[in-house]
């Protein structure tokens, strides 16, 4: 995963943070979402813990330090709430393949299950997968508000750029809550 955003990405996140109005949730309903603790992707045999993360000092979405943990962007929607909840995981690390290494193998219709701190479970269905240049992803589509209950999974993909010290592309898996 990218640890340092492009200047454009950091600026966009900072602007969104400055103008964002907090959304009050209604406790006890699915529309308020859950605080995620783990994610399971049965078709890929992934079962990983989730860490709550915000922004780095440069304004980028923070990412987990290790390759086996998934990060939830806690300044966005909770999984199950209206909006785009975002989970990020590494594709690889210094030891080899990481938690989201096989994410590119998902298919439309595959399921992603998110578990919450109160033993809740929400099932999401893959509806779309897109690859974007690492410095030109549609931030609003990934992180912005929507009336739908979405969960977006992000990881790096493509060739590793040794100069920039990041992969040249991002893979975003868009999912929607199954009713």
Say what the pTM is: 0.78
- Please tell me the predicted confidence (pLDDT) of residue 166: 63
Q: What is the largest CA-CA distance in the chain?
A: 48
- Please tell me the predicted confidence (pLDDT) of residue 155: 85
Helix (H, G, I), strand (E, B) or coil at 138: coil
- The domain limits of the chain are 36-177
Q: Which helix (H) or strand (E) holds 144?
A: none
CA distance 110 to 120: 20
Beta bridge mates, 157: 169
The radius of gyration of the chain from alpha carbons, rounded to an integer in Å, stands at 15
Positive or negative torsion for Cα 99, 125, 52, 1: positive
- Please tell me the predicted confidence (pLDDT) of residue 97: 83
What are 68-71's contacts with CB under 8 Å, separation 24+?
68/98, 68/99, 69/99, 70/39, 70/99, 70/100
Residues 6+ apart with CB under 8 A from 3: 56, 60, 63, 166
CA distance 79 to 115: 9
User: Mean pLDDT for each consecutive 10-residue tract of the chain (179 residues)?
Assistant: 42 44 36 92 98 90 91 96 94 82 95 96 96 81 92 80 64 93
Cα dihedral value 103, 131, 88, 141, nearest 10: -130
- Please tell me the predicted confidence (pLDDT) of residue 69: 96
CATH level 3 topology of 36-177: Sortase; Chain: A; (2.40.260)
């Amino acid at each position: 995963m990218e640890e340092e955003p492009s200047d454009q990405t950091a600026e966009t996140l900072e602007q969104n943070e400055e103008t964002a109005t907090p959304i009050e949730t209604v406790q006890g309903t699915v529309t308020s979402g859950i605080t995620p603790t783990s994610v399971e992707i049965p078709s890929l045999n992934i079962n990983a813990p989730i860490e709550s993360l915000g922004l780095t000092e440069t304004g980028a979405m923070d990412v987990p330090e290790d390759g086996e943990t998934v990060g939830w962007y806690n300044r966005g929607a909770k999984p199950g709430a209206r909006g785009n909840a975002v989970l990020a995981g590494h594709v690889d690390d210094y030891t080899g393949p990481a938690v989201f290494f096989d994410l590119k193998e998902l298919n439309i219709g595959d399921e992603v299950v998110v578990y919450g701190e109160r033993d809740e479970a929400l099932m999401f269905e893959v509806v779309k997968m897109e690859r974007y240049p690492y410095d030109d992803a549609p931030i609003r589509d990934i992180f912005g508000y929507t009336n739908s209950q979405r969960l977006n999974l992000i990881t790096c993909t493509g060739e590793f750029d040794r100069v920039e010290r990041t992969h040249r592309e991002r893979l975003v898996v868009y999912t929607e809550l199954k009713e």
